[in-house]
Amino acid sequence: MFNFLGTSSGAGGAIVLVFFLIIFSAIAVLEIAAMWKVYQKAGQPGWASIVPFYNLWIELKIVNRPGWWFLLFLIPFVNLAVAIILLIDIAKSFGKSGFFAAGLFFFGFIFWPILGFGDATYTRIER
């Protein structure tokens, strides 16, 4: 049998799989470290960035949104709009523009490290 590399052994496919797993793992570790730093810059515990659902609660706290917004994330399609608003608020909290928020949405693997490891400082948004 031939695999997608055109060889008769599965070794080539396994090598490609391992390569992609290493790359994706490195990106995941970078993202976790970057978000950890963003949370710390905002005066929140860094470990909160890796706890599902709790991290969302803390992000709402960072951008000074009410807790009931958490429920909006449970509504299909509404959650997408609320996520975009949340990213805009996060960008503004660190002195960045709406274009930076678009970068967080579409290219998070680049923009979260810029926010976390860069010189951006947190300023609480008053509502």
pLDDT for residue 48 is more than 80:
yes
Residue-wise burial string across 31-46, b where 16 or more C-beta atoms lie within 10 A, e elsewhere = bebbbbbbbbbbebeb
Q: What is the mean pLDDT of residues 102-107?
A: 95
Domain ranges of the chain: 11-117
Confidence grade of residue 126 (pLDDT, cut at 50, 70, 90): confident
